[in-house]
């Protein structure tokens, strides 16, 4: 009986995931497939703005691609190690932020902002995100 409960829970979770994937608009799915050919099985979520997030792996690296409800690509991001930041960014961080703790670093390719690095610093209350170009320039 106990095993039956576990099997039932797994089946319900699988069914919910399939339902979530089937609710992604056709425009979003087709634009994802056009942008990332061969990546045909992403996990989909909806963010607080109503945009669709495709979570997928490419060559073992995790990515998240965001699309508007009408299918327009917004951005794609992947987490990177802070040691992999360009030297110019490391220098700015050292000079401006000293030894503040970094909680997350992402490489972002955006439809509107181009390529940048999003560095999240640990702060009391809400963490602080700072966006950098590869040359160390801070963008807003």
Q: Residues 1-27: pLDDT tens digits?
A: 555 454 444 333 444 344 345 699 999
Which one is predicted more confidently, 18 or 31? Answer: 31
Q: Which domain holds residue 118?
A: 2-139
Mean pLDDT estimate for the chain = 87
CB atoms within 10 A of CB 138: 13
Its sign, for the CA torsion 81, 136, 49, 54, is: negative
Structural domain tally of the chain? 1
What CATH number is attached to the domain comprising 50?
3.10.450.360
CB atoms within 10 A of CB 133: 16
Mean per-residue pLDDT, 94-104: 92
Contact 43/16 with Cβ under 8 angstroms?
Answer: no
**pTM strictly above 0.85:** no
What is the pLDDT, as a whole number, of residue 2?
Answer: 55
Q: Is the pLDDT of residue 101 over 90?
A: yes
């Amino acid at each position: 009986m106990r095993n039956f409960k576990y099997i039932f829970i797994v089946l319900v979770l699988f069914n919910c995931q399939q339902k979530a994937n089937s609710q992604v608009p056709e425009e979003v799915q087709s634009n994802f497939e056009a942008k990332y050919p061969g990546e045909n099985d992403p996990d989909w979520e909806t963010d607080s703005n109503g945009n669709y997030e495709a979570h997928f792996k490419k060559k073992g690296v995790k990515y998240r691609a965001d699309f508007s409800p009408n299918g327009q690509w917004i951005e794609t991001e992947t987490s990177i190690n802070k040691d992999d930041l360009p030297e110019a960014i490391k220098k700015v961080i050292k000079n401006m932020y000293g030894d503040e703790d970094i909680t997350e670093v992402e490489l972002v390719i955006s439809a509107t902002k181009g390529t940048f690095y999003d560095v999240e610093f640990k702060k009391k209350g809400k963490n602080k995100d700072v966006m950098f170009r590869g040359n160390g320039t801070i963008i807003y």
